[in-house]
Amino acid sequence: MEDRRVFARINIQVPIRFLDEEQNQIGNGQTLNISANGVGFITKEKLPVKAPLEIWLDIPDHHEPLYIQGEIAWSRPLDSDNLQRIGVCLKREDLIGLARALWNKAKA
At residue 101, does pLDDT exceed 70?
A: no
Q: Greater confidence, 22 or 74? A: 74
pLDDT band at 1 (very low <50, low <70, confident <90, very high): very low
**In-domain check, residue 23:** yes
CB 74 within 8 A of CB 40: no
- Counting the structural domains of the chain, the total is 1
Per-residue pLDDT, 32:
95
Per-residue pLDDT, 104:
64
Dump the DSSP string for 11-65. Answer: E---EEEEEETTTTEEEEEEEEEEETTEEEEEESS---TT-EEEEEE--TTTSPP
Short-list 15, 11, 18, 46, CA closest to 32 = 11
Q: Give 77's Cβ-side CA count (13 Å radius).
A: 5
- Segment 42-62 mean pLDDT: 91
Short-list 52, 50, 33, CA closest to 42 = 33
**In-domain check, residue 38:** yes
pLDDT digit string, tens, across residues 8-40: 788 989 999 999 988 888 999 999 998 878 899
Provide the residue range defining the domain that includes 65.
10-107
* Beta-strand relationship, 25-35 and 15-20: antiparallel
**In-domain check, residue 87:** yes
**In-domain check, residue 4:** no
At residue 54, does pLDDT exceed 90?
A: yes
Per-residue pLDDT, 12:
87
CATH of the domain at 25: 2.40.10.220
Average pLDDT over all residues of the chain: 84
